[in-house]
């Protein structure tokens, strides 16, 4: 495979294998990780996999699927099966919902301080087991170990953040405006929730939903992606060890997501749905949730623009571009999908970005020195290749990469394209891969128009040193989040979410727990 084992080093190469750590910073440059932590033996891998439960978690019990079926979890770097886990049937899903409903009242009445302490204990356990959890994630999802460790650190922070929010749920008491009577409000948990989590951030997308729900006093049924169920199963085991009562969290793994989720959405016991995934699937789930008038949170697709204005710090913009594009092999809804660069800088920006992207090393995520792992499966690799071919056919120039791997696994070379025309599909479709298309603009108005020329509105990245321009552009861009002179926006203390067809609702920050609380108003005669 071209470039897979030849690390084309460059002194300015920015690695995507960054550690988020406690401060949530993303330094550029290869982290100094000891070799023995990067190169894993087959025995080490097997030991980590063996410690992960393979059954369904229903009502505090680990049990096989009712039909006895299993599904294989694949290593995307080799295409080989790692392990098999239970393949739930619709009746298993309904049993999980029944367990959540049965635990509902007791958990809602559980002391908020103890709910927070459970989250805190789970946070500490995750931190202690970072290396093992990261290895499991790398094996089932493919990303480099350093990136997996960064995700584990980021994921753990949601448990720490919401452990502190559990005791800050409050209402208000005020005199009626007429002076007669009082207004009392109280916040109460929504009730049983159904969570559907994606494969690209299998731990962080789990903790982002589980933590506020636990803090608020809600019970849950979670269905992780079939490609990456092990990270969620390991997380459920940790919460169990931390003292989470049986039935509060129920986990069902299944090949047929629709078959196990639809009965839950049609059941009156379900009160909330939270989904992270594609806009297409999100639309279907929103429609299914309408019958029961469910509370719904949707974190859907993205098409993030990365704007570089003529006064930008080009070195900083390139550092940010590497983070925004290559985090998670580009398989992120927040990934920079299209680079709109002022015409005076576009040629230099594209050439220097290609130099950095070309220096990254492809390989299995457990191998020493690997920066970029495989894509999740063959279908995703083929889609990326198709988008690159479409752009080339319309006149774009490939500056580096542009080819799939020729060996086992689902690899695609980090790729930069220049002179990408407006009608290229990759400027309107989510790439979800290590491909950076560079287009140009001349005026601020053109940049904003290009940024908004999409049905999506999740995140945008803006590089400029002009404060007035920065504020004007940030206000004009139709996205739920903006990275101003930085290539990463994700932060447990901040509200994550989008607008337009990128969804609605917020995860993280003070706003995150609101998604799991109902407001009750009591009119008091006095």
CA distance 270 to 247: 14
- DSSP letter, residue 496: B
Residue 334 has which token pair? 């927040």
- DSSP letter, residue 103: H
Instruction: Tally the C-alpha atoms within 13 A of residue 86's C-alpha that lie toward its C-beta.
Output: 25
Asked if 479 and 318 touch (Cβ cutoff 8 Å), the reply is: no
**Start-to-end C-alpha separation, the chain:** 78
Asked if 306 and 486 touch (Cβ cutoff 8 Å), the reply is: no
**Residue 333 annotated in active site:** yes
Asked if 199 and 231 touch (Cβ cutoff 8 Å), the reply is: no
Asked if 269 and 110 touch (Cβ cutoff 8 Å), the reply is: no
Instruction: Tally the C-alpha atoms within 13 A of residue 335's C-alpha that lie toward its C-beta.
Output: 26
Catalytic residue, from 299, 413, 430, 515: name it.
299
Phi–psi pair at 73, nearest 5 degrees = -100, 125
- Nearest CA-CA partner of 148 in 381, 432, 413, 373: 373
Asked if 305 and 450 touch (Cβ cutoff 8 Å), the reply is: yes
Asked if 207 and 508 touch (Cβ cutoff 8 Å), the reply is: no
- What residues form DSSP beta bridges with 521? 185
Catalytic residue, from 218, 333, 413, 429: name it.
333
Q: Are strands 272-276 and 193-196 parallel, antiparallel or unpaired?
A: parallel
Residue 37 has which token pair? 């932590």
Residue 293 has which token pair? 């008038």
Q: At what angle do helices 230-241 and 130-141 cross, to 10 degrees?
A: 160
The SS3 of residue 338 is strand
The SS3 of residue 285 is helix
Which residues lie closer than 8 Å to 287 by C-beta, 6 or more apart?
Answer: none
- DSSP letter, residue 13: P
Asked if 28 and 327 touch (Cβ cutoff 8 Å), the reply is: no
CA distance 243 to 406: 48
Which residues lie closer than 8 Å to 87 by C-beta, 6 or more apart?
Answer: 65, 67, 69, 70, 71, 253, 254, 255
- DSSP letter, residue 245: P
CA distance 140 to 299: 22
Residues that are catalytic: 299, 333
């Amino acid at each position: 495979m071209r470039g897979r084992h030849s690390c084309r080093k460059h002194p300015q190469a920015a690695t995507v294998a960054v550690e988020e750590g406690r401060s949530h910073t993303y330094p550029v440059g290869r982290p100094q990780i000891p070799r023995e932590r990067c190169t894993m033996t087959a025995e080490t891998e097997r030991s980590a996999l063996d410690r992960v439960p393979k059954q369904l978690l229903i009502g505090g019990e680990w049990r096989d699927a009712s039909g006895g079926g299993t599904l294989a979890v694949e290593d995307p770097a080799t295409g080989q099966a790692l392990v098999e886990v239970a393949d739930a049937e619709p009746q298993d899903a309904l049993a999980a919902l029944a367990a959540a409903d049965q635990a509902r009242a007791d958990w809602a009445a559980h002391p908020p301080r103890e709910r927070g302490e459970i989250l805190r204990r789970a946070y500490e356990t995750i931190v202690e087991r970072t290396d093992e959890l990261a290895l499991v994630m790398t094996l089932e999802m493919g990303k480099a170990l350093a990136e997996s460790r960064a995700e584990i650190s980021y994921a753990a922070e949601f448990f720490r953040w919401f452990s502190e929010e559990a005791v800050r749920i409050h209402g208000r008491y005020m005199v009626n405006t007429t002076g007669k009577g009082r207004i009392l409000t109280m916040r109460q948990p929504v009730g049983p929730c159904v969570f559907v989590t994606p494969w690209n951030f299998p731990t962080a997308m789990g903790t982002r939903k589980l933590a506020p729900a636990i803090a608020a006093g809600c019970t849950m049924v979670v269905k992780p992606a079939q490609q990456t169920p092990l990270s969620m199963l390991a997380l459920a085991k940790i919460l169990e060890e931390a003292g989470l009562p049986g039935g509060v969290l129920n986990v069902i793994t299944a090949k047929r997501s629709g078959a196990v989720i639809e009965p839950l959405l049609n059941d009156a016991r379900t009160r909330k749905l939270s989904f992270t995934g594609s806009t297409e699937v999100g639309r279907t789930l929103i429609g299914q949730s309408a019958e029961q008038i469910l509370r719904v949170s949707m974190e859907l697709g993205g098409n993030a623009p990365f704007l570089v204005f003529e006064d930008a710090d080009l070195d900083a913009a390139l550092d940010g571009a590497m983070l925004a594009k290559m985090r998670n092999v580009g398989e992120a809804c927040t990934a920079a999908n299209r680079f709109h660069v002022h015409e005076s800088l576009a040629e230099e920006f594209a050439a220097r970005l290609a130099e950095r992207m070309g220096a990254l090393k492809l390989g299995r995520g457990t191998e020493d020195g690997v920066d970029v792992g495989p894509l999740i499966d063959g279908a995703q690799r083929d889609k990326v290749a198709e988008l690159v071919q479409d752009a080339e056919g319309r006149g774009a120039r490939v500056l580096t990469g542009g080819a799939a791997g020729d060996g086992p696994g689902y690899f695609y070379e980090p790729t930069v394209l220049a002179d990408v025309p407006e009608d290229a599909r990759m400027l309107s479709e989510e790439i979800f891969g290590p491909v950076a298309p560079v287009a140009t603009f001349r005026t601020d108005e053109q940049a904003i128009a290009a940024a908004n020329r999409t049905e999506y509105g999740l995140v945008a990245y803006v590089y400029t040193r002009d404060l007035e321009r920065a504020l004007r552009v940030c206000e004009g861009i139709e996205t739920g989040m903006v990275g101003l002179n930085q290539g990463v926006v994700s932060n447990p203390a901040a509200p994550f979410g989008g607008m337009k067809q990128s969804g609605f609702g917020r995860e993280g920050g003070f706003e995150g727990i609101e998604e799991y609380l109902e407001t009750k108003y009591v009119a008091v005669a006095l």
